[in-house]
Structure 1
Amino acid sequence: MGEAFTFASRVGFGASGIGTLYRDVPEAVARDTLATAYDAGIRYFDTAPLYGHGLSELRLGQFLRTVPRDGITVSTKVGRYLVPPRGSPVDYGLWASPLRLKPVFDYSYDGTMRALEQSASRLGFPDFDVVYIHDVDRYTHGPDGFERHFDEAMAGCYRALDELRRSGEVKAIGVGVNESDIATRFVEAGRFDVVMIAGRYSLIDRSAEKDLFPAAKKAGTGIVAAGVFNSGILAKGPGAEGATYDYGAPPSDVTRRAEAIAGICAQYDVPLQAAAVQFPLRSPLVRAAVLGMSRPERVAQNLEWSRLPIPEAMWQAIDAAL
C-alpha cells in the first residue's frame, strides 16, 4: 500500500452539529458556522447521511458549492440510505430537528451505491474525497448483529468502494467506528486508506494504541481521530455537572483519570480542552482530528485550542501519570 491519504487540513470540521445533534441549529447559524470555519482555514469537512437524517449533507453541500472545490477534503459515509417513512415509525434519536426521513441500514453493494447517489444529490458533488463504512460495530448492532454486518460490509460496501477508488470516483476509502479492535479487523481484512476512530485515542482512552495503531502502521493506513472530548468529559471538565463519557455517566476510573490530567494541565496553565484537541495530532499516524462544531464561536475556540503552545514537559507529566 502506498502513502496514506493526505487531508487538506489537520483540523477537520465535524458536521454532525449542523445536523442538529442534541439541539436545533437554525439555517443561518449553520451557514455562518461553516463560513467561519472556511475563512479560518479549515479545509476538511466530514459528514454522513445519518447526521440530521440528511440535513448535515444538505447544509454542507449548499455551503461548499459557494467556494472553490479544489483544496477541500470532503468525507461522507455509507451503510445507511434514507427513505420517506410512509407511516412507519422513525427513531430520531439524538437529532433535535432532522429531516423527516428514515435511515435504513444496508451494507450491501447495491445499498452502498444507493447511499452514495443520495449523498451526491445532497452535497451536489459528482465524486468524493473519502468515503467511510459507518457504524459496523457492537455498539450499533450488538455482538451477534455485528458479525453479520461485518461480513456484509466487506462483501458489499468494501467491494463497491474499492471499485470506485480504482475508477477514480473516490480518492480514499475507510471505516468509521467506535471500537478499536473492530477497526483493526477491517484494516487487516482489506486495503483501507484511512480509519476514523471515535473516542479510542484521546487523553483518557488510548486503547487504539494497542491494536489499531500497529495494524495501521503495518498497512500504511492513516488515522483520523474523532470524539477527542469523549463526548463531553474533556470539554466540560470531569467535575462539571452533566459531564458525560461516551454519551453516558463516566465510570469512576475514567473520572479519576480525567481529574489527574486536568490537574496536570492546570499546573502548566493549559486548558484541558487544548490538551484534548492536540493530543491525537501528536502521533505521526494521525492525519487529522475531526471536531464537532455548530456555532461560529465554537470554531474560533477549537482553533485557538489547537494552536496554543503546550510544553513538552506537560505531555511527559501526563504520560507518567497514566
Structure 2
Amino acid sequence: MDWDKLRIFHAVADAGSLTHAGDKLNLSQSAVSRQIRALEESLNATLFHRHARGLILTEQGELLFDAATAMSKRLDAAAARIRDSEEEVFGELRVTTTFGFGTLWLAPRLPKLYEKYPDLSIDLMLEERVLDLPMREADVAIRMKEPSQADLVRKRLMTVQMLLYASRDYLDRIGTPDSLSDIKDHRLICQNPSSAQVGAGASLVQNLMTYNPQSLLTVNNYFGVLQGVLHNLGIGVLPDYVTEDFPDLVRVMPDIESADVPVYLAYPEELRHSQRIAAFRDFVQEEIISHRKQLRQMGKL
C-alpha cells in the first residue's frame, strides 16, 4: 500500500475535510481528492461518506484509519528514539497527568526545567483519562495510581493524602471546627462525586457527607476546590501537595485524612534510554525531594 496515499487519507480522516487536510499538508484540494480516489480504487472500497458538512468514515474507512493511526504512532516513537541524543536534551516531550497535579504542583515548577534545558519543549496534557502510553498518546505520565498497562517502566515517586483546609480569614470569621460533628456549621468544598478522582478522596468526602455540612460547593477538579478555599467559601478537601505554595492555607481537624494515594511516573519501555525522559524523571524526583524538605521545615510533615 502506498504510504503517501495512506498519510493523506489519515490527514483527511482526522480533519474531516479535504480542504483542511490540504492546508495541513500544503496540497491543493484537488490533489488531495485525487489521492483519496486512487486509494479507494486500489482497495476497491469506499472510505468516506460525503455530505455537505464534510466527510464521515465508512466502516472500511474506520478500519483503515485505526491501522494508519497505530502505524503513525509507532513511526513517531521510532523518530523520537532516533532524535534522542546521548548527550543533549531537546525536542518535544508529551507529559500527561491529572488536572490537579498538573496545575497545582507540576506547572509552577517547570521554569526550573526550562532553565536547565532551554531546547526542551513540553506538551502538558492535563486530563483524568489514562492515556495509552504504549500507543504513544503521551511520552510520560504521572498518575495517582500504579499504571496497569503492560510494557511500561514505572517508578513510585511519593504518596499524597487528601486533607481538610480552610483560609485564615474564613476561620477567623466562621470559627475553627474541632470535630467532624462541627461540619454542620460549615460549607464543604470538594470534588463533584461524579467527577473522576482517586478512590481515597472520594471515600473521605463520602464520610464527611454523613455529618451533614451546612452547604456544599462541588467542583470537577482540585484547582476549582482550591480557588473556593482561597476565596473564603468554606472548608475544602485538597491534596497535601498544595500546602507549600499556598502558606495561608490552614489545615483543620488534623486527625482527619484520606488513605495514602501512591504517585507513579511511567513511560514506555521503548523510551527507556530517552534523554528527554531521563531529564524529566530526574527533575521531578529532585523537586519532590525539595518539596518534602520544605514541608518538614514548615512543620507540615
Q: TM-score w.r.t. structure 2 length?
A: 0.26
**Higher share of residues assigned strand:** 2
Q: TM (normalized to structure 1)?
A: 0.25
Q: Which has the larger radius of gyration?
A: 2
